A and B are shown apart, each in its own frame.
Chain A
């Protein structure tokens, strides 16, 4: 697994970044071939936290396996659960009540903001600025508090179940969410002042890590990584699920394809998520939060596929059912894996310091890649 540490025949230096390294945000191992400071090749080695989630799901019932998926992309646990719940519901052919749909969308968008907040802080940290991390956590904590009240957990919420959501919203939910919106609007200018408008930051990000639209498609990139290159791939727009087709929001697109474009996509996406939450927060319909489903779920024989837009891109859930109480085979199409594959392509020829910035803009979550 580990290549011999040393130099190549050409005299290039090979360095191992990871599995334990401050820049990889997890246990990712990159074998980098360097010519001085210039990168010649980046070879990601995966599998350090492979937990065989897909195989595990095969022995869990359709209610149980959803909880495991919170541990894939832990920063968008709600959205993972949502994708799985959607897939099971597709198999069961149940309609979920409008209240549950709105709650799900609200939770998804809050998760997306929380995930982008964390990314923003970590990304700035990759570039050597520590302070944004704490500023980002100020907002993220208030989202986590909202989640904690309603779902009982702050990171792996396990709130979406087949047929709706696990329990009704906490009475404080609307008040707390509005407080968060206030806080966000009051503080968002700090993001621009501290990072986005900073000349050093812009120089570090612009014209770095260029990814063309063709390459983004051929590498299977999705989410902000692809939209930064101008590829329209927002699942919420193309294949709307729940009530996304009734909501007013824009698909954020940038055409530059560099690190700064990918950065701006996420910053602007947060504002779109705020827009969605503002539309819904006063219009949560009354009614059930869950449809009645059988105690033991059995999916009919067949194959079911759903996809959702997580904070990192397109998450696909593919279930093959033999008609039993557990899936015969389950496969997740995770956005992080495809986005990581593009790293070698965009990093070649740039400096070592930029590699860290590029990894930051791809927003890699290692458990999502390894599963």
Chain B
């Protein structure tokens, strides 16, 4: 059957037969890097057009429909425009940090691609602490935002950055705790182990209500972590014009913009992997025929289907809810989400010890 892993294996075999091991490794690293950059760009284009179409659908309008068939090339045209735009650096700005910040945002987003399993046996780096790696690297995102906000020498940017700092640092906690719930159940931090543990049912179904609570907490926390509405206080266009990237223009702005969308994709991919079984098809206990039919759907379609469903949910939030205020935002985390996810983790741990799950 056609799959990504076959392509990867064939390529690896051909390279090993043609070149010596060192050369093979170098070529594979370059190929992986190119693939990540390509995916990065492709995701940006797809997600931007998706967001515009979803918002148009929710707002009773048509959305972009002029460039290309049904407006599908709109984001390509926008990218082209941003590429040829002048990237201004304000006079009072700290020029080095100002120009560095968007690249950090991009690099962090790219690093997070490493442990994600896009299809069966198709993963860049299946390191044994995959989940820990993801939560560690994703918290680096705040550095680029703080850097951008501070170095712009603009009060709106600074306020956006400070808000974002407080927000991301707080919401890391409940995101981490809800991820831990899955880790406790699986007994492993490795992404492939977590996926294989869901072969006979996804954690959201196997883990009773505590797992559903963990999933909901996770979705709320990552929405806040990626600065998406209703937690988009770092941008808050009605209060801070554009928040931390007020002073950015051209491609430097586009990198922030891309990084935001790629981050959304990544957190949704993590959510799909941890709670919805990643590339695992949907199986129901003893329904062998049904399970076989589900197996015929390629694993990459399962993975991207689940991920894009979660992305849609996050977009749905953005186009439905008003924004929270900064104190309400922190209250929500410290007074509600954090205690809930802590108690939830305790319950999940008890469940895992007593084997109270399916």
A residues near B, CB below 8 A?
A: 13, 15, 21-23, 37, 124-131, 133-135, 138, 194-195, 198, 200-201, 203-204, 351-356
Q: Is the CB of B325 within 8 A of A129?
A: no
The contact sample of 11 A-B pairs, CB cut-off 8 A, is A37-B163, A126-B238, A127-B322, A128-B230, A194-B320, A203-B324, A351-B326, A352-B159, A353-B326, A354-B325, A355-B239
Known: A15-B155, A22-B237, A130-B319. 5 other contacts (CB 8 A): A13-B155, A125-B238, A127-B322, A129-B323, A351-B325
CB pair A128–B59 under 8 Å, yes or no, is no
CA–CA, A83 to B328, complex, Å?
44
Q: Are A200 and B241 in contact (CB-based, < 8 A)? A: no
What string of 1s and 0s marks CB contacts (under 8 Å) between B226-241 and chain A?
0001101100111101
- Scan residues 57-83 of chain B and give those whose CB is less than 8 A from a CB of chain A: 58-61
| Chain B residue with the shortest CB-CB distance to A138 | B60
Give B contacts to A, CB under 8 Å.
55, 58-61, 155-156, 159, 163, 229-230, 232-233, 236-239, 241, 319-328
Query: Shortest distance in angstroms between B268's beta carbon and chain A's nearest beta carbon?
Result: 21
Q: B326 touching A37 by the CB < 8 A rule?
A: yes
* A195 contact set on B, CB distance < 8 A: 322
Closest Cβ of chain B to A186, distance in Å, is: 14
How many angstroms between the C-alpha atoms of A371 and B232 in the bound complex?
A: 36
Contact yes or no, A131 B238, CB < 8 A: no
Q: Are A131 and B325 in contact (CB under 8 A)?
A: no
Let me know if B58 and A128 touch, CB within 8 A.
Answer: no
Contacts of B238 in A (CB 8 A): 22-23, 125-128, 356
Partner of B61, one of A128, A134, A200, A201: A134
Identify the closest chain A residue to B163 (Cβ). Answer: A37
B331: nearest residue on chain A (CB-CB)? A203
C-alpha gap A127/B322 in the complex (Å): 5
Whether the pair B319, A131 counts as a contact (CB closer than 8 A) is: yes
Query: A22-B238, A127-B238 are contacts. A200–B230 as well, Cβ < 8 Å?
Result: yes
- Bound: A182/B136 CA distance, A: 55
Give the docked Cα–Cα distance between A96 and B237 (Å). 49
How distant is the Cα of A21 from the Cα of B155 in the complex, in angstroms?
14
Residues of B within 8 A of A135 (CB): 59-60
Which residues from chain A contact B324 at a C-beta distance below 8 Å?
200, 203-204
A56 to B325, CA, bound (A): 44
Measured CB to CB, the closest approach of chain A to B231, in angstroms, equals 10
A128 in contact with B325 (CB, 8 Å): no
> How far does the alpha carbon of A22 sit from the alpha carbon of B239 in the complex, in Å?
8
Given contacts A22-B237, A203-B328, A356-B239, contact A127 B323 (CB under 8 A): yes
